[in-house]
């Protein structure tokens, strides 16, 4: 993706109109009172699968360190050091650390709001975008992958209403003219709010996605304060995803919080850049009179159903994405609807725990099956000093599969260990739903041991795999696949290699730079 060509025209115009970079749109803000999560924590809650766009993890420009005679410059610094420098210059949260608050004044010209700021709301070092080709590409890739932006338009019969929404929600960052903002194309989502069918556009602003919870919180509080507020507004959401990010991540970072809204008069979600079924389910949730736990559980169950169907068709990418989306939805629901979900009967919680178990097991199975044609039974990783990109991907996927299989086993055995219980990764202890070992059958526990054993064998941990598969064979009873896998793992044990070497080796490969 060439970010430079997409942004240059709008950058020049906004710079002329406001005398600062087109990317200076932001100010510091707080998240929802209950949802204290970062820009990309939603993906952390889903899985450890790496994103396709890893611009925030740059690679060194050379395979060997610079010689003593070679002058040390920015491009010769190690990738972690360059990333650290980029974060302090380009991260939308860090650049405002320690800066004084921004105050705004406004005027109305031709029915449109125009704002001026007491200081640049977003003091990013945009000069990095114009140094040279390499530094420009690295800086832009870091900036646009680390910070997702939303273009926000408000239609209202009263300009004061638009001003109140911008100021009280804390998303007033753009002080360029509305005409210049509308020309910007480098953003991740278009969001339009129309009040009472108004045809008058009062303003266009751009703000970073990490401040979206403040806007959603404002709309939720306005709905509670006035029963007519939500019903009198229409919302239009369209994900652009011009950065080619994973769909599950985009849904989690940009759309999942909108599920906390209900009784909206009209909602239209463009589903072209979303996973199958997501747009319709989100629209239905936002237009419902109230949040209904059973309806929500059905919507998430459909995500896992679609993941299993995609796995059966060998569409492993879609299966992975649907599993991630289901996990993100579950996590957000317990962060925003904890009181409602914890008041449900035991049968509901049992169904939820089974759903989470299915999701984790499907993810583990998918990530293992994704590489089954190319990996050896003992280990897929070649002991090279510099692994290939394919080896890195195999290592990362198998490690993620091992984590997901451990999660599934933890759920089916009701393990209290935070190290393997997936709920402890994303929820505070007081919000974690209860679980009971008798909610799962021996066959379900056996499946969990079986998938974990296959993953350990692929990682070269045959001693671990033999233990896993022996338990699986005992629980599944006369299962030919489990018996064969156990015999294979036992025969391939190398007693001269210490247990854990395969896992450490995979972690090393996943972290190393490619050739």
pLDDT at 327 over 60: yes
pLDDT at 2 over 80: no
Asked which of 18-22, 189-193, 236-240, 499-503 is least confident by mean pLDDT, the reply is: 18-22
Burial group, residue 56, by CB count within 10 angstroms (0-12, 13-18, 19+): middle
| 267 beta partners | 235
More confident residue, 229 or 69: 229
Instruction: For residue 383, name the pLDDT band (cuts at 50, 70, 90).
Output: low
* Mean confidence (pLDDT) of the chain: 82
More confident residue, 452 or 82: 452
List Cβ neighbours of 119 (8 Å cut-off, separation of 6 or more).
99, 100, 102
- How large a percentage of the chain has pLDDT more than 70? 83
- How large a percentage of the chain has pLDDT more than 90? 50
Q: pLDDT digits over 92-117, tens only?
A: 878 877 878 788 888 888 888 888 88
Residue linked to tokens 């650390």: 97
Q: Between the ranges 126-140, 337-351, 385-399, where is the mean pLDDT highest? A: 337-351
Q: What is the mean pLDDT of residues 472-477?
A: 94
Taking the C-alpha atoms of residue 56 and residue 352, their distance in angstroms, rounded to an integer, is 35
pLDDT at 310 over 90: yes
Q: Are 138 and 58 spatial neighbours (Cβ–Cβ below 8 Å)?
A: yes
Collapsed DSSP state (helix, strand, coil) of residue 417: coil
Residue linked to tokens 């019903």: 231
463: enclosing H helix or E strand: helix 462-476
B/e letters for 23-36, b = 16+ CB within 10 Å, e = fewer, are bbbbbbbebbeebe
Q: Between the ranges 147-151, 179-183, 438-442, where is the mean pLDDT highest? A: 438-442
Q: Which of 499, 482, 493, 417 is nearest to 445 (CA)?
A: 482
- Name the strands in the sheet holding 233-239, side by side, starting at the edge strand that comes first in the sequence: 201-208, 149-155, 189-195, 233-239, 266-270
Taking the C-alpha atoms of residue 483 and residue 494, their distance in angstroms, rounded to an integer, is 20
Question: What are the backbone angles phi and psi of residue 266, rounded to the nearest 5°?
Answer: -150, 140
Taking the C-alpha atoms of residue 143 and residue 129, their distance in angstroms, rounded to an integer, is 10
pTM above 0.85, yes or no: no
pLDDT at 127 over 90: no
Q: pLDDT digits over 391-408, tens only?
A: 888 999 999 999 999 999
pLDDT at 89 over 90: no
Residue 70's CB is within 10 A of a number of other CB atoms, namely 10
> Is the Cα torsion angle 498, 493, 391, 50 positive or negative in sign?
negative
Taking the C-alpha atoms of residue 15 and residue 135, their distance in angstroms, rounded to an integer, is 21
More confident residue, 87 or 231: 231
Residue 41's CB is within 10 A of a number of other CB atoms, namely 17
Q: Are 117 and 175 spatial neighbours (Cβ–Cβ below 8 Å)?
A: yes
Check residue 7 and give its pLDDT. Answer: 37
List Cβ neighbours of 401 (8 Å cut-off, separation of 6 or more).
363, 364, 365, 366, 367, 368, 455
Q: What is the mean pLDDT of residues 359-386?
A: 76
Check residue 65 and give its pLDDT. Answer: 55
Q: What is the mean pLDDT of residues 5-19?
A: 35
* Residue 33 DSSP symbol: S
Q: What is the mean pLDDT of residues 200-229?
A: 90
Please report, for the chain, how many H helices and E strands are present, in that order.
19, 7
Check residue 178 and give its pLDDT. Answer: 78
Check residue 51 and give its pLDDT. Answer: 35
pLDDT at 285 over 60: yes
Q: What is the mean pLDDT of residues 435-448?
A: 95
Q: Between the ranges 117-126, 205-214, 265-274, 494-503, where is the mean pLDDT highest? A: 265-274
Check residue 385 and give its pLDDT. Answer: 65
Q: Is 127 left (phi over 0), alpha (psi -120 to 50) or beta?
A: alpha
Q: What is the mean pLDDT of residues 429-453?
A: 95
Q: pLDDT digits over 250-283, tens only?
A: 899 899 999 999 999 999 999 999 999 999 999 9
Instruction: For residue 344, name the pLDDT band (cuts at 50, 70, 90).
Output: very high
pLDDT at 25 over 80: no
Check residue 323 and give its pLDDT. Answer: 97
> In this structure, which long-range contacts are made by residues 216-220, counting pairs with CB atoms below 8 Å and at least 24 apart in sequence?
216/32, 216/257, 216/258, 216/260, 216/261, 217/32, 217/33, 217/169, 218/165, 218/168, 218/169, 218/170, 219/169, 219/261, 220/260, 220/261
Check residue 243 and give its pLDDT. Answer: 73
Between vectors from CA 458 to CA 454 and to CA 460, what angle results, nearest 5°? 115
201: enclosing H helix or E strand: strand 201-208
Q: Which of 4, 24, 422, 441 is nearest to 208 (CA)?
A: 24
């Amino acid at each position: 993706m060439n970010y430079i060509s997409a942004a240059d025209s709008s950058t020049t115009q906004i710079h002329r109109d406001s005398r600062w970079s087109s990317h200076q749109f932001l100010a510091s803000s707080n998240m929802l009172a209950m949802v204290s999560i970062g820009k990309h924590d939603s993906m952390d809650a889903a899985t450890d699968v790496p994103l396709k766009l890893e611009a925030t993890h740059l690679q060194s420009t050379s395979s060997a360190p610079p010689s003593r005679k070679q002058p040390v410059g920015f491009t010769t610094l190690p990738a972690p050091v360059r990333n650290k420098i980029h974060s302090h210059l380009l991260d939308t949260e860090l650049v405002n650390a320690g800066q004084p608050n921004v105050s705004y004044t406004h005027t109305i010209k031709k029915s449109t709001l125009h704002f001026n700021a007491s200081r640049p709301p977003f003091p990013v070092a945009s000069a990095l975008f114009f140094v040279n080709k390499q530094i420009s590409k690295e800086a832009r890739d870091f900036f646009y992958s680390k910070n997702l932006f939303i273009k926000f338009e408000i239609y209202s019969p009263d300009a004061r209403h638009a001003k109140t929404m911008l100021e009280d929600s804390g998303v007033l960052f753009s002080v360029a003219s509305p005409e210049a903002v509308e020309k910007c194309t480098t953003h991740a989502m278009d969001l339009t709010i129309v009040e009472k069918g108004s045809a008058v556009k009062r303003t266009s602003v751009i703000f970073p996605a990490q401040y979206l919870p403040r806007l959603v919180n404002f709309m939720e509080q306005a709905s509670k304060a006035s029963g007519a507020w939500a019903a009198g507004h229409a919302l239009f959401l369209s994900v652009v995803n011009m950065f080619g990010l994973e769909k599950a991540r985009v849904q989690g970072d940009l759309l999942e919080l909108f599920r906390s809204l209900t009784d909206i008069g009209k909602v239209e979600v463009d589903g072209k850049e979303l996973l199958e079924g997501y747009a319709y389910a989100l629209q239905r949730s936002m237009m419902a009179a109230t949040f209904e736990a059973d309806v929500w559980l059905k919507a998430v169950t459909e995500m896992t159903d679609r993941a299993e169907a995609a796995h059966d068709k060998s569409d492993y990418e879609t299966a992975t994405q649907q599993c991630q989306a289901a996990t993100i939805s579950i996590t957000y629901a317990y962060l925003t609807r904890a009181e409602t979900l914890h008041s449900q009967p035991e049968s509901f919680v049992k169904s939820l725990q089974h759903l989470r178990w299915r999701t984790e097991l499907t993810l583990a199975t998918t990530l293992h099956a994704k590489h089954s044609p190319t990996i050896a039974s003992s280990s897929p990783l070649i002991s090279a000093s510099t692994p290939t990109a394919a080896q890195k991907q195999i290592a990362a996927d198998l490690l993620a599969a091992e984590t997901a299989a451990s999660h599934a086993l933890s759920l089916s055995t009701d393990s209290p260990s935070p190290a393997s219980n997936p709920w402890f990764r994303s929820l505070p202890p007081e919000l974690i739903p209860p679980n009971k070992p008798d909610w799962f059958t021996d066959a379900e526990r056996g499946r969990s041991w079986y998938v974990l054993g296959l993953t350990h064998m692929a990682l070269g941990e045959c001693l671990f795999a033999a233990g896993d598969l022996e338990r699986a064979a005992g629980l599944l009873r006369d299962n030919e696949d489990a018996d064969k896998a156990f015999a294979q793992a036992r025969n391939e044990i190398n007693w001269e290699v210490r247990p854990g070497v395969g896992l450490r080796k995979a972690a090393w490969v996943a972290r190393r730079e490619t050739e």
